[in-house]
Amino acid sequence: MLAPVDGAWLAVYRIAFGLALGVSMQRFLAYGWVDTLLVSPRYKFHYWGFSWVPCLARGEMHALFWALFALGLCVAAGFLFRVTAPLFALGLTYIQLVDVSTYLNHYYLAGLLAWLFALSPAARVWSVDAWLARKVPFLRRFSPEGPHVAFAWHALFRCQIGLVYVFASLAKAQSDWLVHGQPLGMWLGASTSLPVVGKLFTLPHVPLVMSWCGFLFDATIVLWLSMARTRKLAYLVVIGFHVMTRALFDIGMFPIIMTCSALVFFPASWPRDVADRVRTWLGRVAPLRPEVPSGAPRTSTFRRIALGLGVLYVVFQVTMPLRTFLYGGNVLWHEQGMRYSWRVMVRAKGGATTFFVKEKATGKVWLVSPRQYLTAYQENEMSGQPDLILELAHTIGEDYAARFGPVEVRAESTVSLNGRRGAPLVDPDVDLLTVHDGIAPASWILPSPGGAPPPTRPVL
């Protein structure tokens, strides 16, 4: 694990990641999402244990995104990497902690990768830092040790990306996806105006066939990418798959991040191989490659501890998505164990929630629309996620208690899962002020509705 390998793969990955995330920050600014998602909502949902995280003012938040854009470019360039990469990871993490309703799997992935990069020796090759170290003798004492990195880093990134694909496939191994072609059948209906392929989506069984293709892709692509004989073809499939998902769905930079990330399954020196081929094609002589140190890898207590932490990280990443099995039931419905589990694009949930606030003294009942606290986006996200309903119920309870004295707060939340008829998500008889969020199974969440989702045909 500690054997040195060429660091070229990590350098290219660092450049691609920094650029992709830099673009992502620009998208937030250009589309006004900094305001609509993070600044404008006057109420913010908090992660469990992170209610202390403050929200920046509008100007500060915009400045943060510009700073993260610049930091993304610094990461890509490998400039002051030991400073800029942790700051970049910290900033990405902060953005995610501002409001739970903005949680997306690919934002979570970007945060994890940013921290892995920040801790990794990703600036050893093809970076401004390495260039400066060569030019300025004084800086050599701070410079990386050479163009090699421990194989453990390669293994760690492969594990991280592989787990995303594997758990995404496990999430699809259920009847809605594999038997009924949902929710893909619903989503494809929005793309029937696409040139050429749009009409294909209206053909019978196409959503189901595409569901199976998606499942098989996620379930096996790591295997194909791991085998030398199939790797190149598999990567072409990766490109095709993510280009299509980008065309069909609003999934932002996720396809680009994954397309770049899949390159970690190639040998460590693949960038030099490609460069050599290009040079040969241009009739130039390929430069000498840096020698890989021979002999047993250097070990130290620090390295052993670092290796142990890496193993712990992988164990954590494996167990987090599996935790939902401790809860039982349908995770797509009760959402316990849903986050951080790579259940990507498998549930379509719509809901309407109304809070009933009852004054204990008079029995007077107020109907509180979530819109009084939330934006439409937040309301839609909250309606399908019971812990967010609970959090808002407590906030509403505090507000009304301050005005009218002791109150009870109940929620009537009707939710449709993958096109099914709406069903109550939380028990309307439970005073939510008596319930507190935690990791224990939530008895106040009602069981998911049974039966198959209705068939939906995309139409022109």
Partner 1 sequence: MKLQRFSRSFLALGGAVLPAVLAFACHTTEEPRPGVAKKGTASTADPLPPPFDAGVVPDAAGLPEGPYACGAPPVSTAPFTKAALLGATADCAAYHLCRFANAAHVLRTTVDAEAKDGTKESRALAQLAWQRAMDEWSHSALFQFGPVADKATDKYHGRSLRTLVHAWPDTSRCQVETQVVLKGYQGGFDLVFPSSRGLFALEYLLYYPGTDTACSASSQAGGAWASLVGDAQTKAKRDYAVAAAGDLVAQADTLRKVWAPDGENFKAKLLAFDGYGNEQEALNVVAWSMFYVEQEVKDLKLGSYAGFQTAPPNPETAFARVDIENIRTNLRAFRELYAGCGAAGEGLGFDDWLVASGNGALAKELLDLYTQAQAAADAFPPFYQASPQQFADLYLKIRPLANLLKTQLFGSGSPLNLKLPASAASDTD
- Residues engaged in binding partner 1 (CB under 8 A): 31, 33, 36-37, 104-106, 186-187, 189-193, 249-254, 344-345, 347-352, 354, 365-369, 371, 375-377, 379-380, 383-384, 403, 414-419, 421-422, 454-460
Residue 441 dihedral angles phi and psi, to the nearest 5°: -55, 135
Identify which of residues 5 and 374 has a Cβ nearer to partner 1 in the complex.
374
Identify which of residues 394 and 457 has a Cβ nearer to partner 1 in the complex.
457
**Residue 308: Cβ-neighbour burial (10 angstroms; 0-12, 13-18, 19+):** exposed
- Measured N-to-C along each axis, helices 8-30 and 105-119 cross at an angle, to the nearest 10 degrees, of 140
Identify which of residues 58 and 140 has a Cβ nearer to partner 1 in the complex.
58
CB of 205 to partner 1, least distance (A): 13
CB of 151 to partner 1, least distance (A): 32
Identify which of residues 190 and 318 has a Cβ nearer to partner 1 in the complex.
190
Identify which of residues 143 and 380 has a Cβ nearer to partner 1 in the complex.
380
Q: How far is CA 107 from CA 96, 147, 318, 393, 419, in A?
A: 7, 30, 18, 27, 26
CB of 181 to partner 1, least distance (A): 12
Identify which of residues 215 and 224 has a Cβ nearer to partner 1 in the complex.
215
CB of 459 to partner 1, least distance (A): 5
CB of 189 to partner 1, least distance (A): 5
CB of 231 to partner 1, least distance (A): 27
